[in-house]
Each structure stands twice: as structure tokens, then as C-alpha cells.
């Protein structure tokens, strides 16, 4: 019985030494990466804010750090909400990363922290429209060696689709956030077909008039449902 317990204890200690320490390294690096994200967001907001003020004073670019794990970047009518998940994640073995030499060399390289970026309408926050929807536009994955890759729609998702050769840095994050701003600005609010919004209850219209409370999203218009069409790269 004693031998079994000793073997189990050694197995537990080995797992703590290797896997738990690795996850602590991933978490530390994700914290550091998110600190850079917040710094980049502040710098971009100040830089763009100064320049857009000269173009048109109605165009507002600001940043707000909501807590240690979340920060917002408002660019005119858009809001990019960046937040860091506090857990470390592994991927399904079918994921393409497991076919790369980098992960084959050490599977612990595949464990990542995540920084999510959502695109909301600024009015959703301004008018406290709690039912409004945002869209996940980017996920930044950071591993134990501070190397990263990105899941995103458009060119940015292709450019950073595999683990980087070097650790993540501020210059790369500036470029990534700028690309996300461009994506958000060009991702327009569409009005839904009239057949989808011709009926409205007394309660809904009263809420609409009093608190602008009907659900809205960039591909929802005034309250329709939406799904993503992968073939045509659009929400429907």
C-alpha cells in the first residue's frame, strides 16, 4: 500500500512541477500581454483623439480601463471591448497547431491564455441597452513562451494564423489594434428587412420611446436575429 501511495504522490508532484508551473507561466505572460494591450489602447486613443479633434470635434476617440482585465476603446460610434480571460486553455487534438513542429516539439507550447476583443455599438453603452449584441472580432492566444497567434476574420486572421517566431511586442499589438479599428469602422449597421420589424407591441414601442431599449447590433438593425454565414463572410 505504501508503494502505491508513494507512486501517486510522485505523480502528483511531477504534474505540479511541470503542468501547473507551465500554466502559471502562461498566466503571467497573458497578464503581461494584456498590460501591453491596455497601454497600446491608451496611446492610440490619445493619438487618434488629438488628430480627429482637428478633423471634426464630434468625432470622439477615448479609452477607458474598466478593471484589471478589461479595457474599452471608443472610436466614434464603435466600441472595442478587450478583456483577458483568467484561465489557461488547451485545444482539441484535431486543431491544426498540433501538426506544427513547434507544438510537436513540446505539447505544453499549445496551452494558451486568451485576450478577447468584441465590437459593440457605442450607443449600446451610452444608453445602457443591455440586450444589444457585440461580435467577437479577435482572439489573441498567448503561450508560455510569450509567442502568440490570432483567430480573427479578415487579413489579420490569416497573417497571424500560426504561432509567432518571436515573443509578442507592443509594435505588433499597435498594428493588430489598428487593424481591428479599421474592421470595426467598416463593419456597418444594416437596417433589417421591413417584414422583420413591421410588428411591435405597445410595451416595446413605449420602451423604445422612453429608453431606446430594443435590441440592436451591427447586423441586427432594430431587433432581428442574426447568424453568421461562413461562406459569404457576413452576418445574416
pLDDT at 130: 80
CB atoms under 10 Å from CB of 114, counted, come to 17
Q: What is the mean pLDDT of residues 13-36?
A: 96
At 134, is the pLDDT very low, low, confident or very high (cuts 50, 70, 90)?
confident
Buried b (16+ CB within 10 A) or exposed e, 72-95: bbbbbbbbbbbbbeeebeeeeeee
Whether pLDDT at 61 is above 90: yes
Whether pLDDT at 202 is above 70: no
At 83, is the pLDDT very low, low, confident or very high (cuts 50, 70, 90)?
very high
Whether 137 and 119 have beta carbons less than 8 Å apart is answered as: yes
pLDDT at 64: 96
Closest CA to 43 of 60, 63, 57, 59: 63
Rounded to 5 degrees, φ, ψ at 141 are -105, 130
pLDDT at 167: 97
Predicted TM-score of the model (pTM): 0.81
Whether pLDDT at 203 is above 70: no
What is the distance in angstroms between the CA of the first residue and the CA of the last residue of the chain? 62
Amino acid at each position: 500500500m505504501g508503494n502505491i501511495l508513494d507512486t501517486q504522490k510522485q505523480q502528483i508532484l511531477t504534474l505540479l512541477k511541470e503542468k501547473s508551473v507551465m500554466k502559471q507561466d502562461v498566466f503571467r505572460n497573458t497578464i503581461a500581454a494584456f498590460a501591453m494591450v491596455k497601454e497600446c489602447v491608451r496611446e492610440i486613443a490619445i493619438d487618434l483623439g488629438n488628430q480627429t479633434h482637428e478633423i471634426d470635434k464630434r468625432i470622439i476617440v477615448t479609452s477607458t480601463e474598466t478593471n484589471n482585465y478589461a479595457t474599452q476603446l471608443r472610436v466614434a460610434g464603435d466600441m472595442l471591448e478587450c478583456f483577458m480571460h483568467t484561465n489557461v486553455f488547451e485545444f482539441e487534438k484535431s486543431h491544426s497547431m498540433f501538426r506544427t513542429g513547434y507544438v510537436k516539439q513540446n505539447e505544453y507550447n499549445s496551452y494558451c491564455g486568451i485576450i478577447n476583443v468584441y465590437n459593440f455599438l457605442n450607443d449600446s453603452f451610452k444608453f445602457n441597452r443591455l440586450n444589444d449584441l457585440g461580435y467577437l472580432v479577435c482572439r489573441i492566444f498567448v503561450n508560455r513562451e510569450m509567442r502568440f497567434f490570432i483567430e480573427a476574420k479578415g487579413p489579420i486572421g490569416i497573417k497571424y494564423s500560426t504561432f509567432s517566431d518571436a515573443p509578442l511586442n507592443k509594435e505588433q499589438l499597435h498594428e493588430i489594434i489598428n487593424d481591428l479599428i479599421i474592421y470595426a469602422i467598416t463593419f456597418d449597421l444594416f437596417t433589417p428587412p421591413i417584414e422583420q420589424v413591421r410588428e411591435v407591441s405597445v410595451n416595446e414601442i413605449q420602451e423604445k420611446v422612453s429608453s431606446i431599449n430594443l435590441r440592436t447590433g451591427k447586423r441586427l438593425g432594430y431587433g432581428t436575429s442574426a447568424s453568421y454565414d461562413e461562406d459569404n463572410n457576413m452576418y445574416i
